[in-house]
A and B are shown apart, each in its own frame.
Chain A
């Protein structure tokens, strides 16, 4: 299945940049945990990267078209896992997100992104017209909504919304009419107060209202936002230096190795480091967009953009949040934040993207 000549088309640049981001992540996890109770977290992250590399290779060697044939199987499997989370999952921080396994806790919602992207890509590829029909959009919405609701129920609204961006990205690329996009936006705006009233949990409402006025709750949700911005701002142009940022080192930022890893990075490495990191992320994103354009078929393009939508949304949201500019959400920074499932799923997703690029010339 894996032809020798394919090897020459592997996108090594993307792999190198991904590796660089992973190393930066491990470094920052070490910085934020080395003197605390989680001081071995960076080792776990290295293991996760190792497993992630295996997942990457697995997603690379099998032709994505073959994988797409089985997309429904993966989809059903992941939905089953999500149901399992709600039934048997373990909780942390008020949410039930993990399935306990012998060596680690699996977070199925991370893998739901890949499965949804694969399924939607397959769905829209089969639609042969210039723009997706209402039926296609309806089916696509339904495919997205099932895991969306399951994940939102955990609750993990951030990851759930990430699924919507996948749908949006693929539908957009499949030629969804712009008018329809406008209608979706209007509906969203109208639905917001209703969602506020009925769908959001109290802690979510809290986060939103303290975002608008952090001083409402300077020790609670607003605290994180204020401290995040202080961390970033105090970094200055050149940063405080590795292990020298007071905000992260002295624990003024909660869970700095996770949601706020980029704030600590900005504190210790300064604007220079921020621009380097933004550049690296932008590089893999633009490179993937190129892959989408070069893709041999629409399936490949849709798949890449679907995966990229989720990745980009998380990167941009997390980095914006780490500067205190959007409400605090449990959205981690792919490749840098600590988290095994996220790392493995992200690398697997990039395996698929590189897969598409690698096979751009094959028939």
Chain B
């Protein structure tokens, strides 16, 4: 029997002090029983009433959901060769939740990794708004040595808040091949987060193909729920939702043709751009812009120094010249002028002009590139010889608005609609344009230089490719595109060819005359002989365009480091009948189109060699003459090209 009762039963008197003692013991007992009941109630309150809340808190304590980054879709070329794939990289991250002294951790981590402490602080500040259990990536694509250094410290529990994760990272071709075409990926920025419904930490396409087809390529990240202990160490995995890889995508690119163009440019050390396509469909076979950057540097988180130097580089490696560069087309524009004159019924192909080497238009002497003149030339010969006087004459006869109309119908001065971001529009001037833009009347004298692709005319290389495709296929303005097929999980499905941008409406006779001229350029006595390929009837046109007017050049002579040498063009298609390949090679400061034609020849040779099962050719660069001085000033009042 528990409790305190009188042992001797009621009625028996106790000594006074004994009774007092018993009373006080009873008081103590009641107090203690009350205390224990209160404790039991407190435990009942926490363990039953508030159980759910504490269960959740305990779960948050020991469970973490870690994102598993989905590999992006692999890119294949048209033959199924891998262009861009994924590799595993190590990311070293900091979990602030497990850090007792973030400052100390930053100092120690920067020392262990050998990275700039200020940059680490900056990174952490940038993520300061996120939940403290979310890892902040400090170093992407850590080297094995760095990983080893961190793991060694972590095991000593010096850096329990640092985690090393293995994540899939983009692997682009090592030599920056087709860098601008692929673009690059990097962690989503704040603007994209707010606008496009990404999640913090997502890696998204920021340029090129990666950006345009980001939704296809991204895949769905997985997640892993793990149990961690109080140090943040993982104990075991509770469940795992594996990431699903992004769509596998086939590009229209032919990596051999792409390689051929790259080889040509690199062998001759040119900056510039090339766009080569199937003139019947617009499928792009080769696409490059040089100088390029290494997209791999972005994939693993670009450091500030690299980014700054890319931005500061005078050669603008971040600019995609193929769709963002605007250049004077020079003589390659002459086919548009010829088409305008023929289609407007102003001349026939037999219309002949006698070239004396220069001619007066509206009171000003315009030079032909050939000092002695070409003598009498018809349209075909004028294209073959690139006779400036002939086209000055046509320009005067048809006027700037007709040139604008037909050049536009052939794809110049408008966007090509290529599936790459930030394409710019070229310019083919018109009277209306000048009035709207400058508020001035068009002077007929301005048309003369427009007729040979100088003056205000400015085109993008990609639009030149469309223009050549239209000339090759009989006038259809194809949409250049890169996406060929998709693997939707059930095998490859071809992507329908994007619809054409319309037909120029140019008559076959007009086309035939222009084709004759273009064939002669390469196979006759023209300037494109270096592009000749036995048995393939290459047709093409060289162009040389001044970077600056000769007056301007003279004024700047010796006072600038800018490279003022002319740009070189070669536009082409082959074979002449039923063309299979067309395109443009643009060499910045290539001085004349002959070298561009050499590169184009190598591209076409590679293309046909593959078709015919021949071994692929190797590019043999010509022995280059010593570089000329920045500007060679020879002519008098001449503007225009020199071919």
Contact = CB atoms under 8 A, between A and B. Distances in A.
List the 6 closest A-B pairs by CB distance, nearest first. Answer: A233-B54, A234-B58, A250-B229, A251-B230, A271-B47, A233-B46
Given A229-B54, A234-B58, A250-B61, 15 more contacts: A172-B24, A173-B21, A175-B17, A229-B46, A230-B54, A230-B58, A234-B55, A235-B51, A236-B47, A247-B58, A247-B61, A250-B235, A252-B229, A286-B33, A289-B32
Contact of B20 (A130, A294, A320): A130
Given A289-B29, A316-B39, A246 B61 contact: yes
B46 A323 contact: yes
Contacts of B47: 232-233, 235-237, 266, 270-271, 274
Interface stretch (B2-10, B177-185, B279-287, B378-386): B2-10
Interface of A: 130, 169, 172-173, 175, 219, 227, 229-237, 246-247, 250-252, 266, 270-271, 274-275, 278, 281-283, 285-287, 289-290, 292-294, 298, 301, 305, 312, 316, 319-320, 323, 325
B152 interface: no
A282 B38 CA distance: 12
Contacts of A227: 61
B43 to A, nearest CB: 5
9 contacts: A130-B16, A233-B55, A234-B51, A234-B54, A235-B47, A246-B62, A250-B229, A251-B230, A252-B58
B227 interface: yes
B45 to A, nearest CB: 9
Contact of A290 (B3, B51, B54): B3
Nearest to A283: B2
Contacts of B28: 169, 172-173, 289, 305
Contacts of B16: 130
Contact of A316 (B24, B35, B57): B35
B100 interface: yes
Nearest to B51: A236
A293 B25 contact: yes
Contacts of B435: none
B39 A232 contact: no
A323 B2 CA distance: 28
Contact of A237 (B39, B40, B48): B48
Contacts, number: 134
A289 B230 contact: no
Contacts of A219: 100
B50 interface: yes
Contacts of A294: 7
Contacts of B24: 172-173, 175
Given A175-B20, A234-B51, A323-B46, A312 B58 contact: no
Most buried by A among B43, B54, B230: B43
B537 to A, nearest CB: 77
B40 A231 contact: no
Interface residues of B, number: 42
A238 to B, nearest CB: 9
Contacts of A235: 47, 51
Most buried by B among A230, A231, A278: A230
Contacts of B25: 173, 289, 292-293, 301, 305
Contacts of A301: 21, 25
A283 B47 CA distance: 23
Interface in B531-572: none
Contact of B62 (A252, A266, A271, A285): A252
B2 A290 contact: yes
Contact of A233 (B53, B227, B230): B53
B40 A232 contact: no
Contacts of B229: 250-252
A219 B61 CA distance: 13
Most buried by A among B48, B50, B54, B55: B54
B43 A231 contact: no
A323 B43 contact: yes
Nearest to B62: A246
A230 B61 contact: yes
A321 to B, nearest CB: 11
Most buried by A among B36, B47, B58: B47
Contacts of B17: 130, 175, 298
B42 interface: yes
B397 interface: no
A250 B63 CA distance: 11
B400 to A, nearest CB: 76
B21 A298 contact: yes
A33 to B, nearest CB: 14
A282 B16 CA distance: 29
Given A175-B17, A232-B46, A271-B48, A278 B22 contact: no
Nearest to A128: B17
B573 to A, nearest CB: 70
Given A231-B58, A252-B62, A286 B29 contact: yes
Nearest to B6: A293
Interface string B54-76: 11011101100000000000000
Nearest to A232: B46
A349 to B, nearest CB: 17
Contacts of B55: 233-234, 236
Interface string B389-425: 0000000000000000000000000000000000000
Contacts of A175: 17, 20-21, 24
Nearest to A271: B47
A282 B33 contact: yes
Most buried by A among B22, B29, B100: B29
A268 to B, nearest CB: 12
Interface string B226-264: 011111000100000000000000000000000000000
Contacts of A323: 39, 42-43, 46
A130 to B, nearest CB: 6
A252 B61 contact: yes
A271 B61 contact: no
A278 B36 contact: yes
A284 B470 CA distance: 102
A336 B22 CA distance: 31
Contacts of B227: 246, 250
Contacts of B59: 246
Contact of A278 (B40, B48, B51): B40
B44 interface: yes
Contacts of B50: 233
Contacts of B42: 320, 323, 325
B61 A286 contact: no
Interface in B281-329: none
Contacts of A286: 2-3, 29, 32-33
B377 to A, nearest CB: 88
A233 B51 contact: yes
Nearest to B48: A237
B46 A237 contact: no
Contacts of A246: 58-59, 61-62, 227
B54 A232 contact: yes
A232 B51 CA distance: 9
B43 A271 contact: yes
Nearest to B56: A234
A290 B51 CA distance: 37
B31 to A, nearest CB: 10
A274 B43 contact: yes
A159 to B, nearest CB: 20
Nearest to B49: A233
Contacts of A325: 42
Contacts of B22: 293
Nearest to B17: A130
Contacts of A247: 58, 61-62
B228 to A, nearest CB: 7
Nearest to A270: B47
Nearest to A235: B47
A312 B62 contact: no
Contacts of B36: 278, 281-282, 316
Contacts of A283: 2
